[in-house]
Amino acid sequence: ALISMRQLLDHAAEHGYGVPAFNVNNLEQMRAIMEAAEQTDSPVIVQASAGARKYAGAPFLRHLILAAIEEWPHIPVCMHQDHGTSMPVCQRSIQLGFSSVMMDGSLGEDGKTPTSYEYNVDVTKRVVEIAHACGVSVEGELGCLGSLETGTAGEEDGIGAEGTLDHSQLLTDPEEAADFVKKTGVDALAIAIGTSHGAYKFTRPPTGDILAIERIKEIHTRIPNTHLVMHGSSSVPQDWLKIIDEFGGDMGETYGVPVEEIAEGIKHGVRKVNIDTDLRMASTGAIRRHLAENRKNFDPRKYFTAATKAMKDICVARYEAFGTAGNA
Ligand code: G3H
Ligand code: 13P
Ligand code: ZN
């Protein structure tokens, strides 16, 4: 059944778990997420970016998610729009039937230029007004996502601030977060705590303090009823990285956010955990390996099945690690 993000994350907060929000662009990702949710008895957040709508087309994406709800009617599914950059983008998603939208007013409509606090408050507040009138939840964002190690947003093809960010922009200010929530009425808030989008988050194996856990605690204490969202939460699995490079890829050395660090964040108020890169890596690695090992095959269903299995395994692991399992 379709469920709003507010309903789902209120339950998560009450029971102290987190929910991975997986990006979805195609059938294989959708099936992997749902099969994993079915196996682990987990509620689901699937999110579509502007890039996903461009790739699949809005009607196809909408029906892909609705088809999942039809096939697995007993699993609660939140249909979320990832990184909306303007009011019209959010309105279009509400019209399409999404149960939740993100208005990312931390960046301008180009998805690159950091905005003023006043702009962010104003545009987010207006989206909350229309979304709530339709029973749709809203996620806002305060602070600029960027790696605390490299100081860059690190997104190749989507959303991310340009250039190098200074330390204060990379960590959401707790006082400002409280003011932002009071003025906008958002249900969930994406905070900057040292992660960045994409596969190139950290150049060295992350030590235990890669996330600003203290900052999460401070923010959570100020806004206990607003669900915290962690973007850029892929772990960049080293086994898939090796397979990709072994079978003709060239990703090089790079590291993501350890799952244990995310679990620590969940203890302190993180409820929605955005993951895209890990599923991209698993499917690419599985397809590269399958094609290399089955050189006579030309049936796409065979390598897409391998990709779906690889993505499903990641989803199962995240549902278990974040405490989502058993809560559908
Ligand atoms: O926000 C970034 C997500 O990974 C979506 O990426 O815009 O390439 O679909 P995308
Ligand atoms: P990753 O690139 O770490 O998977 O983050 C995805 C994300 O934050 C989507 O909004
Ligand atoms: Zn994001």
Please give the distance of CA 215 from its chain centroid, rounded to a whole number. 20
> pLDDT tens for residues 18-70?
999 999 999 999 999 999 999 999 999 999 999 999 999 999 999 999 999 99
pLDDT of 155: 62
Residue 293 CA, ligand 1 centroid: distance in Å: 30
pLDDT of 157: 55
Percent of the chain topping pLDDT 70 = 98
This complex has an ipTM of 0.97
Quick one: 23 exposed, middle or buried, by C-beta within 10 A (0-12, 13-18, 19+)? buried
Q: Is residue 144 within 8 Å of residue 170, measured between CB atoms? A: yes
pLDDT of 94: 97
pLDDT of 144: 87
Give Cα separations from 157 to 36, 154, 186, 212 (angstroms).
28, 9, 27, 26
Q: State how beta strands 137-142 and 188-191 pair.
A: parallel
pLDDT of 64: 97
Domains and CATH numbers, the chain: 5-235+251-276 (3.20.20.70)
- What is the b/e burial string over 80-105, where b = at least 16 CB atoms within 10 angstroms of the residue's CB? bbbbbbbbebbbbbbebebbbbbbbb
Instruction: Point out the ligand 1 atom lying closest to the alpha carbon of residue 231.
Output: 1
Q: Which of 82, 150, 275 to mutate to test the pocket of ligand 2 (most atoms within 8 A of CB)?
A: 275
Phi, psi for 37 (deg, rounded to 5):
-65, -40
pLDDT of 165: 80
Q: Is the CB of 197 under 6 A from ligand 2?
A: yes
pLDDT of 323: 98
Give the C-alpha separation, 51 to 53, whole Å: 5
Instruction: Point out the ligand 2 atom lying closest to the alpha carbon of residue 102.
Output: 10
Q: Is 236 left (phi over 0), alpha (psi -120 to 50) or beta?
A: left
Q: Which one of the ligands is nearest to 52 CA?
A: 1
pLDDT of 146: 84
SS3 141: strand
Residues involved in catalysis: 82
Residues of the chain with pLDDT under 50: none
Give me the residues paired with residue 230 across strands.
273
Give the C-alpha separation, 241 to 244, whole Å: 5
Q: Is the CB of 226 under 6 A from ligand 1?
A: no
